[in-house]
Chain A
């Protein structure tokens, strides 16, 4: 019996300890330090303040945040617009061909997004593939600058995060009972009505999961604006990185990170709430 208890306790303790020490404690450190005074000698000193949070609303800093949030909203909408029809069409492909096609989405999902971003640089740089193509076709007179613009950052974010939108959408659309669609059609619903009243509500969990999986990382992927954007393209991730590595300002960087943690927590809370209502309405 003792040996049994030992095994059970080890399995639980190791996991709990690991998560507490390397997830819970570090996140608490972030929160605590964000409320402490900065000290150039030792990163921070034990003097409570909320000045870093006030500084986040300083127009210069606030612009970085609103800009980054608009990148994230834009990216989420774009991936949704591309990914939703894609998930739908993919779930209608014949059963034999689907595994391969699905695999072709999973591979970029796991491939380093740095490598994929770099691949975009090759395409978009001034003497890159797209420009050479446009010049050869005579569509433009001189090279057009795509790289180092806001457009390039959007392309980079959408390119990196599209698989994260497609996979959860596909998962719900594939399970959709097509008999429901037929029933709705038989009862006289138009195509638009079928979509709005049946397909969309039933795929809501996938839409939400996909949006969270795109929105959250898109705030932090600092190497995308670094490699593709201009001098003004900045994400919250770049801002935090600069606070920690360039300015050595731990408390201010922590306050910006608390903002990200809050965004994450509120998105997860909304997701859970919606799922609760969703399950109730589907079950009844």
Chain B
């Protein structure tokens, strides 16, 4: 009896989580344009996407920002995680508090605050402002992922290396980095997804000259349901799925 309740509860919640997404994906292959009736399998909406130059540009822009932002965030965040766990310095606690508050702070506050910063600095909103914003919201996620891994291993390894005459630079690149590499890659993949999917912050910090995919989808979706949008959303969902799965296996390795 108890077992039965548990199984049905789990099933119901998974159905709730996945039925909308599966419906979306199924309809991206539907012949019919306006109705929800199944009229046969087609790939024409995907072909249509490939012919839409504006969408392709937005897709390319999104990929560029996500790639560059996630690499920069991973670089800075990994160094930060190392510094926080291995060095004592003034403001370390405040720094950690700020990192957590970035993760917690509502996206909209970050969006408007960065918008005002960029306008006051006289910067034109576009690629650069978008990039700076994306690095900022990815940074804490990298730092937390990497920090969890650094904390997990023996600090005597570092002490031994230092006794044997290794410099800080060498310690980081020859000892720490190889050990934390899976977590670094996982942090990078998660940043990439985060950047690729962001709507709210990007909404405020990009300009009309530099369109990105989530905002393009947002403006299309406001005009109603279209099979092309279904196809586009399906592609984006599958990209997220791939990145998250990869990140999962990279972080899982440590448990073995």
> B225 contacts which of A27, A29, A125 (Cβ < 8 Å)?
A125
- Chain A residues, Cβ within 8 Å of B194: 110
The residues in B between 44 and 85 inclusive whose CB is less than 8 angstroms from any CB of A are 76-77, 79-80, 82-83
- Chain B residues, Cβ within 8 Å of A73: none
Interface check B122, CB cutoff 8 A: no
> A19 contacts which of B27, B36, B102, B104 (Cβ < 8 Å)?
B102
- Chain A residues, Cβ within 8 Å of B87: 8, 11-12
Closest-by-CB residue of A relative to B143 is A15
Interface check B233, CB cutoff 8 A: yes
Stretch binding the partner chain, chosen from B110-118, B148-156, B177-185:
B110-118
- Chain B residues, Cβ within 8 Å of A43: 119
Closest-by-CB residue of A relative to B100 is A268
- Chain A residues, Cβ within 8 Å of B76: 14-15, 18
> A227 contacts which of B35, B100, B221, B233 (Cβ < 8 Å)?
B221
A108 touches B98 (CB 8 A): no
A120–B77 CA distance with the chains assembled, in angstroms: 35
Dominant SS among interface residues on chain B = helix
Closest-by-CB residue of B relative to A101 is B10
> C-beta contact mask, A48-90 vs B, less than 8 Å → 1, else 0?
0000000000000000000000000000000000100110011
Interface check B105, CB cutoff 8 A: yes
The residues in A between 208 and 261 inclusive whose CB is less than 8 angstroms from any CB of B are 212-213, 216-217, 219-223, 226-227, 236-237, 240-241, 244, 250, 253-254, 257, 260-261
A112–B109 CA distance with the chains assembled, in angstroms: 19
- Chain B residues, Cβ within 8 Å of A187: none
B199 touches A112 (CB 8 A): yes
Interface check A264, CB cutoff 8 A: yes
- Chain B residues, Cβ within 8 Å of A82: 13
Interface check B101, CB cutoff 8 A: yes
B23 touches A129 (CB 8 A): yes
B105 touches A115 (CB 8 A): no
- Chain A residues, Cβ within 8 Å of B77: 15
Interface check A26, CB cutoff 8 A: yes
The residues in B between 167 and 210 inclusive whose CB is less than 8 angstroms from any CB of A are 167-169, 172, 190, 193-194, 196-197, 199-200, 203-204
- Chain A residues, Cβ within 8 Å of B110: 23, 26
A163–B108 CA distance with the chains assembled, in angstroms: 20
> B10 contacts which of A26, A90, A159, A226 (Cβ < 8 Å)?
A90
A114–B10 CA distance with the chains assembled, in angstroms: 24
Min CB gap B66→A, angstroms: 12
> A114 contacts which of B100, B135, B214 (Cβ < 8 Å)?
B214
A120–B188 CA distance with the chains assembled, in angstroms: 30
The residues in A between 5 and 40 inclusive whose CB is less than 8 angstroms from any CB of B are 7-8, 10-12, 14-16, 18-19, 22-27, 29-30, 33
Interface check B250, CB cutoff 8 A: no
Question: Which residue, A30, A85, A89, has most C-beta atoms of chain B within 10 A?
Answer: A89
Pull 23 A–B residue pairs with CB atoms less than 8 Å apart, ordered by A: A7-B167, A12-B83, A15-B76, A89-B7, A104-B17, A108-B17, A108-B18, A111-B21, A112-B214, A118-B217, A118-B229, A119-B24, A121-B221, A123-B23, A220-B107, A220-B109, A220-B200, A223-B199, A223-B200, A244-B112, A260-B106, A268-B100, A268-B104
Name A's B-contacting residues (CB within 8 A): 3-4, 7-8, 10-12, 14-16, 18-19, 22-27, 29-30, 33, 43, 82, 85-86, 89-90, 92-93, 99, 101, 103-108, 110-116, 118-123, 125, 127-129, 132, 159, 162-163, 212-213, 216-217, 219-223, 226-227, 236-237, 240-241, 244, 250, 253-254, 257, 260-261, 264-265, 268
Q: Please name 8 further chain A to chain B contacts, defined as beta carbons within 8 Å, in addition to the given A107-B240, A112-B196, A112-B240, sorted by A numbering.
A: A4-B169, A8-B168, A23-B101, A30-B113, A86-B10, A216-B106, A237-B108, A257-B113
Instruction: List 9 tightest A-B contacts by C-beta distance, closest first.
Output: A26-B113, A112-B197, A119-B20, A15-B80, A220-B106, A89-B6, A220-B108, A119-B24, A11-B79
